[in-house]
Structure 1
Amino acid sequence: MLYTQLGRSGLSVSTLCLGTMNFGPHTDEADAFKIMDQAHEAGLNFFDTANGYGGNDRRGWTEEIIGRWIAQGGGRRERTVLATKVYANMTDWPNDSKLSALNIRRSLDASLKRLQTDYIDLYQFHHVDRDTPWDEIWQAIDVAVQQGKILYAGSSNFAGWHIAAAQEAAARRPVTGLVSEQSIYSLLERSVEREVIPAAEHYGLGLLPWSPLHGGLLGGVLQKQNDGVRRIEGRAAEALATHHDAIAAFESFAADLGHAPGDVALAWLIHQPAVTAPIIGPRTSAQLEAGLRAVNLSLDADALATLDKIFPGPKTAPEDYAW
């Protein structure tokens, strides 16, 4: 396993992050335990979750599973850089969602209890809160840091100007502010290159891409269809129809390289200078093994250029839309 720093922080994390959203709804507890142990055996030390994971009827379920895994001991907590998130509607009652100081305090304590730990390494804002001022948010985070309940703060699904607003408010206090941004990013979804990545690089945030295989469309979907392994329906079928030619060219190029399409897609992300660690969300141990292969897959300049031709991304703003 390779390791890197999380943004401008001193925190060392694996270049892949284990996403846990499937734990509970799609992966039972026993298999989730096996996947987390397997991740540690492979040297993967960075785990990501959220207080809302588990489904609408069982929010918090995923954190509870991770907590019971941690409670087994054996250095599981000590060897894990643990990231979770706050924002989700945990109940229908007022103040049980978003980023008010009250909800941050209550949600953090609830996550700590579910996770059976006394601190969170990376506490992330799952969505921007347009109703709560940054001074209030940072005050709540300051208190949590002073209490030893969190070490670092991060964002998720922010626009570039949201990152700027957060960091400028943090600088006025002054506090560390955000050290990471978690965004949707893949060969098929490169819009963050326009403004989010430039903002993250300017302020020293590490980028944590989610949906790196774009819902499986970059994981060899055409070959799987031909083999009768996977059936595509709904929005995925519409996306596949829209990008069919590019995906076909991509799968052909991956075959020429001698690698699985999913490995190439993950490796491309790891090669991007702003990226700290793509988030993979395996349902099974086999899927985790597949994701781990990408860590040591090297793509040369010609391969990266070919992928840019197949899936062209935007320019940095404002050149993307102005002179």
Structure 2
Amino acid sequence: MEYTQLGRTGLVVSRLGLGTMNFGSHTSESDSHAMMDRALDLGINFFDTADIYGRKSGPGGTEALIGRWLGRGGGRRDKVVLATKVYGKISDWPNDRGLSARHIVRACDASLRRLGTDWIDVYQMHHVDRSTPWAEIWEAMGVLVTQGKVRYVGSCNFAGWHLSTAQAAAHERSLFGLVSEQCHYNLLTRYVELEVIPAASALGLGVLPWSPLHGGLLSGVLRRQAANATVRSTSDRVASDFERRSTAIAKYEDLCAELGQEPSAVALAWLLARPGVTAPLVGPRTMAQLNMSTQALSVEFDDTVLDRLDELFPPVGKGGPAPEAWAW
């Protein structure tokens, strides 16, 4: 496994992160525990979850599942850089959502109980809250850091200007501010190259791409269809993308075969080579998928292959950061 520092911090994280959204929903608890053990064996130390994952087993189901795994001891908690999130709707009551100081503090305490730990390494805002002032958000986050319940604060799904505004508000309070941004980024979804990644890099934030395989569309979906295997990537969330980009996906799978690499490994390796990216978050449902992801660490591209990938999955506009992506 390769390691790097998370943004401008001294915190060391693996170049691949373990996303746990499937744990407790599409993957059984025993299989999830086995995969977390395997992740540690592979050297993956960054585990990402959220308080709204695993709802099938009750509020915070995935966090509770992870907590039971951590409770088995063996140094698990000390080895893991544990990240979770706050923002999502926990109940139908109006204050059980968003980023009010009340909700942030209550949600953090609830996550700590479910996870069975005294601290969260990276506490991430799952979405920007346009109705809550930054002064209030940072007041709550500052209290949690002072209490030792949170080590670092991160964001998810922010725009570039949200990152800048958040950092300016944090600095006004002499706080360290955000250390990471978790964003939707893969070969099929490259909008963050315009402003989010340049902003994150300028502000010293690590970039953690989620859905690096775009719901499975970049993992060999056509090959599995031909073999009559179950294809989860044709679910409603990505069905329209599959229909619209099927020709490019077919050519992508041909390119991967030409390279002698698995499509999922190529997609992850492409992200690992992108400027500013710290660690793509793989979200395996099976042990085989987890093991496959590490192949990306040994994949290298020359300029010819990178150009072919850009032809198949063009960047937004003329490519690169704004405003050059669309202006002179």
Output the TM-score relative to the length of structure 2. Answer: 0.96
Distance 1:144 1:152 in 2: 10
Q: Structure 2: where are the runs of 5+ without partners?
A: none
AA partner of residue 228 (structure 1):
N
AA partner of residue 83 (structure 1):
A
Q: Once structures 1 and 2 are overlaid, which stretch shifts more, 26-35 or 297-306?
A: 297-306
Instruction: State the partner residue of 2:311.
Output: 309
Instruction: State the partner residue of 1:106.
Output: 106
* Superposed CA offset, 1:221-276 (max 9, x none): 11111111134354533322211121111111111110011110000001112110
Distance 2:235 2:277 in 1: 31
Distance 1:74 1:56 in 2: 28
Q: How many pairs align?
A: 323
**Pairs within 5 Å for 1:197-236:** 197-231=197-231, 232=234, 234-236=236-238
* Superposed CA offset, 1:102-151 (max 9, x none): 11110000000000000000000000000111111111111111100011
CA drift at 1:286: 0.9
Whether the 8 Å contact between 1:23 and 1:32 is mirrored in structure 2 is yes
Instruction: State the partner residue of 1:320.
Output: 325
Instruction: State the partner residue of 1:22.
Output: 22
Distance 2:253 2:122 in 1: 35
Whether the 8 Å contact between 2:222 and 2:250 is mirrored in structure 1 is yes
Distance 2:123 2:25 in 1: 23
Q: Once structures 1 and 2 are overlaid, which stretch shifts more, 238-247 or 215-224?
A: 238-247
**Pairs within 5 Å for 1:29-178:** 29-55=29-55, 58-178=58-178
Matched position secondary structure for 1:90: coil
Instruction: State the partner residue of 1:289.
Output: 291
* Superposed CA offset, 1:260-310 (max 9, x none): 111100000011121100011111111100112112222223222221222
Distance 1:233 1:192 in 2: 24
Distance 1:127 1:238 in 2: 24
AA partner of residue 93 (structure 1):
W
1:144 to 1:30, Cα distance in 2 relative to 1, 3 A: same
Q: Percent identity?
A: 57
AA partner of residue 117 (structure 1):
T
Distance 2:107 2:235 in 1: 36
Task: Verify: 1:277 aligned to 2:282, yes or no.
Answer: no
Whether the 8 Å contact between 2:25 and 2:56 is mirrored in structure 1 is no
Distance 1:318 1:224 in 2: 40
Distance 2:23 2:182 in 1: 19
Whether the 8 Å contact between 1:126 and 1:157 is mirrored in structure 2 is yes
CA drift at 1:321: 2.9
Indicate the RMSD between aligned Cα atoms, in angstroms.
Answer: 1.3
CA drift at 1:320: 2.4
CA drift at 1:97: 0.9
Q: Once structures 1 and 2 are overlaid, which stretch shifts more, 289-298 or 5-14?
A: 289-298
Distance 2:153 2:214 in 1: 26
Distance 1:91 1:173 in 2: 32
Whether the 8 Å contact between 1:218 and 1:261 is mirrored in structure 2 is yes
* Superposed CA offset, 1:143-176 (max 9, x none): 1111000110000000111111101111111211
Q: Once structures 1 and 2 are overlaid, which stretch shifts more, 222-231 or 53-62?
A: 53-62
Matched position secondary structure for 1:243: helix
Instruction: State the partner residue of 1:256.
Output: 258
Matched position secondary structure for 2:141: helix
Distance 2:149 2:298 in 1: 35
Whether the 8 Å contact between 1:221 and 1:230 is mirrored in structure 2 is no
Whether the 8 Å contact between 2:25 and 2:55 is mirrored in structure 1 is yes
AA partner of residue 223 (structure 1):
R
Whether the 8 Å contact between 1:183 and 1:192 is mirrored in structure 2 is yes
Whether the 8 Å contact between 2:33 and 2:69 is mirrored in structure 1 is yes
Q: Once structures 1 and 2 are overlaid, which stretch shifts more, 171-180 or 36-45?
A: 171-180
AA partner of residue 323 (structure 2):
P
